[in-house]
Every structure is written in C-alpha cells, then in structure tokens.
Amino acid sequence: MTKSSLLPQERLDDLQNGYEIIQDPGKFCFGADAVLLSWYARALAHERILDMGCGTGIIPILLRARKKGSHVVGLEIQEDCAQMARRSVIHNHLEEEITIVTGDIREASVLFGGASFDVITCNPPYMIDQHGLQNAHREIAIARHEILCSLGDVLSQAAKVLRPRGRFYMIHRPFRLGEILSKMVQVGLEPKRMRLIHPYVDKEPNMVLIEGLSGGRSRMTVERPFILYKEPGVYTQEALDVYYGGKEG
C-alpha cells in the first residue's frame, strides 16, 4: 500500500514489528491500552482468539505479530472501522491468520456459536453512556462510551463463546474494578490475574489488565504494578520491553 492508495484523511503507521496499520486521525486511533492488552493476553499456538470490538484491527495485528494463537477473529460493529481493519489485514498479508467480521458484540454467541474460542480479548468502552463528555464524532464516542454495548454485554457474551477453561483478557479503568470483578464472577469468568497500570511511579493507576478463566475456581493473583513512564515522554525499561522487546505478559 502506498500513500496514493489511502483515503485522503488516512495515514499508514509503522507498528515497529514488521507490520503497519491504516488509521484515520479524525476518528479513533489506538493507544497504549491496545499494546498492553496484546502483550498481557496468553494464547498457545493452536488456539483460536476472538477480539471483541476490534476497531481498526490493531489488537488482532499485534497478537499475530507476537505469534499468539493460530487464528484471530476481530468483531466490529462499525462497518467503516471493519473495512479499514480488513484493508490493514490485506496490506500486511495476514488474510490466512486474521478474519474481520462486522457484527454486534451482543450477538456474538449467535454469530459464532457457543464454546467456539479458546481466548477472548477486549478493549471495551470505559465510560458508562452518561458518564462524562461524549466526543462529537460518533465513532470516537462509541469507542469510549457504552453506547452500543455495556460491560455486562461483553462479559455475558464472552462467557458464552469461550470454551470450558478458556481465557478472557480485558483492559479497563480501575474506577470500575468492583463492578468488573463482580460481573465476571456472575457470568462464570473467574478472575485469575490482575495488574494495575500506573502512568508514573508516584501516580495512581489509570488502567487495569484482567485475566478471567471460564469455569475457574476462586483464586486471583494481584501482580506487581506496571509503571509506564519514568518521566514525561520517557518509557520505563519494562514498557520499552513491551513495545519493542517482544517480552510476554
């Protein structure tokens, strides 16, 4: 793909791992949360992965860059985002490894059938529909606010499409942690691992990574904090390892 084949508002970003992704700066571009989630998720070479709400395909591409799973399916409700994801998949010659499906998270079990994936990843909207200011661009608002699906929708559908002992990975905001853990237990996704992400060592966490196990027993490991920056614009060594060193979560 060349600049001339991109739409006027689009750009092609180098992911520093051998792959590139098409992004539209006027809509929603990926951030550290997608990188951290693709690092934290564990998947064996033979396992099938579903990324719920894949947007423009960043997490499926990052998962394949890390050689996680045998095939990744990205589910995205917004057709323009799904089409952008498909073009990025084709651009990176990943058609045999990634499939992008246009569809509603709330209908995942109908689309794919029960117990059809070994691993699920999700970087869902963080804000309840009426919480805070919504972006004027609908695509960005949908990515940030629970307009088209709720936390409960994500968890209940994940529980249905995961195979027994399958693993669920999500990144979210700590202010909703109580609700997250409670609802995971309710649907049978037992929280097993959790790691808080701090922007700086002296700042409170602003993200949380969680692993759940379908049908697991009650026992969770709270891992040591992850510090993203040493100072403004300077990553910690661990963050550099995540971004550029291939270190696994």
pLDDT digits (tens, 9 = 90+) for 178-234: 999 999 999 999 999 999 999 999 999 999 999 999 999 999 999 999 999 999 999
Angle (nearest 5°) at CA 11 between 9 and 15: 155
Residue 132 region, left (φ>0) first, then alpha (ψ -120 to 50), else beta? Answer: left
pLDDT digits (tens, 9 = 90+) for 94-106: 999 999 999 999 9
Token pair, residue 122, equals 């999700």
CATH number of 32-245: 3.40.50.150
The predicted model scores a pTM of 0.91
Parse the chain into domains and list their residue ranges. Answer: 32-245
Task: List average pLDDT for each run of 10 residues in the chain, which is 249 residues long.
Answer: 73 94 89 96 98 96 96 96 95 97 97 97 76 48 56 96 98 96 98 98 98 96 98 96 79
The amino acid present at 45, given as its one-letter code, is A
**What are residue 78's phi and psi, to 5 degrees?**
-90, 115
